[in-house]
Amino acid sequence: MKIGFIGLGHMGNPMCRNLLKHGHTLKVSDLVPELVKKLTDLGCEAASSPADCARGVQLVITMLPSSPHVRSVYAGDNGVLKGVAPNIPLIDSSTIDPHTSREVAWLAQAQGNVLVDAPVSGGVGGAEAGTLTFMVGGEARDFEAVKAVLSCMGKNIVHCGASGNGQVAKICNNLMLAIEMIATAEGMSLAVKLGMDPRVFAGIVNTSSGRCWSSDTYNPYPGVLENVPSSRHYTGGFGSDLMLKDLTLVTDAAKSARQPVMLGAIAQQLYQKHSVDGHGGLDFSSIILQYLRT
């Protein structure tokens, strides 16, 4: 297939490389010329705008920072919807708010194109290994139409229901992840302050009812697990600012749905403080520094 790919950053670049590995040809677009060059060096064609990127291709994929970028890349003056032919499927893999996702899908539909939302989990490591999870929102037949190409970049391709539901799954999962990470950080730091060895305590938790992914696979306390960000000064992994972004999407979505998210709001504020303290670039498990330094 000839695919238009827009947004060649941390995630987009390795996703493109996996599409190339599977024999697809790519027309690519990014605001940063160096990121475009990295892919034209591998044989991709450079596009002059999102509209140009969508012209003459059989599918368009976008991997952009946030909702305003997605809106302007699709619906702007030189946007995808200006260049794309009718019936060409569109996939947005950015993490954005479900409301914008549905609005842009509706604009696409009004001119004869299907847009599915397909945000991912798995991070840069998953993008490089081609093992991302894609959470897809759209009609069942449209999900079936894009499943094969998503399989070139991911391992689990899940249909979440109607348009926007991929975003819903993504942000609600990350809401739970942030809360369990903060709970683990709080419990671990208190246990140590009260005299316990962190490894002994983690061992107890991980065979008891406090166990969760953050305690047994990604423990935030330094030295408890090897090969996780807490054991390498919180480098690599999933950045605290990306978690803050997702939690802000959560609290905004909850506000528009008039649904309380008490712990989500506290989690959002904790990550906001963490970012203001200068730790936004550290892995999200570094939230434990908010406890270890007090």
Per-residue contact string for residues 256-275; x = within reach of ligand NAD by CB under 6 A:
--------------------
Q: What is the DSSP letter of 126?
A: H
- Return the residue of 32, 85, 190, 257 that touches ligand NAD, per CB under 6 A: 32
CB of 201 to ligand NAD, least distance (A): 29
| Beta-ladder partners of 210 | none
Answer yes or no: are the C-beta atoms of 181 and 213 closer than 8 Å. no
DSSP-based helix, strand, coil % in the chain, nearest 5: 55, 15, 35
- Return the residue of 3, 5, 7, 27 that touches ligand NAD, per CB under 6 A: 7
- Return the residue of 3, 8, 81, 177 that touches ligand NAD, per CB under 6 A: 8
Give SS3 for 27. Answer: strand
CB of 260 to ligand NAD, least distance (A): 24
Give SS3 for 51. Answer: helix
Rg (CA), the chain: 20
CB of 170 to ligand NAD, least distance (A): 8
Q: Rounded to the nearest 10 degrees, what angle do helices 240-257 and 262-274 cross at? A: 150
| Beta-ladder partners of 156 | 133
Q: Rounded to the nearest 10 degrees, what angle do helices 165-193 and 198-205 cross at? A: 130
Stretch that binds ligand NAD, among 116-124, 179-187, 189-197, 225-233 (CB under 6 A): 116-124
Under rule CB under 6 A, residue 120 binds ligand NAD: yes
CB of 131 to ligand NAD, least distance (A): 13
φ, ψ of residue 174 in degrees (nearest 5):
-70, -25
Tokens 């297939």 belong to residue: 1
Categorise residue 7: left if φ over 0, alpha if ψ from -120 to 50, beta otherwise: left
| Beta carbon nearer to ligand NAD, 77 or 226 | 77
Q: Closest CB to ligand NAD belongs to which residue?
A: 9
Under rule CB under 6 A, residue 68 binds ligand NAD: no
Closest CA to 62 of 7, 25, 133, 9: 7
Tokens 């947004």 belong to residue: 7
| Beta carbon nearer to ligand NAD, 35 or 153 | 35
- Return the residue of 94, 101, 214, 290 that touches ligand NAD, per CB under 6 A: 94
- Return the residue of 29, 165, 214, 268 that touches ligand NAD, per CB under 6 A: 29
Under rule CB under 6 A, residue 63 binds ligand NAD: yes
CB of 13 to ligand NAD, least distance (A): 8
How far is the C-alpha of 224 from the C-alpha of 226, rounded, in Å? 7
Per-residue contact string for residues 215-254; x = within reach of ligand NAD by CB under 6 A:
-----------------------x---x--x---------
Write out the residues near ligand NAD by the rule CB under 6 A: 6-12, 29-32, 35, 50, 63-65, 69, 72-73, 94-95, 120, 123-124, 238, 242, 245
Active site residues: 170
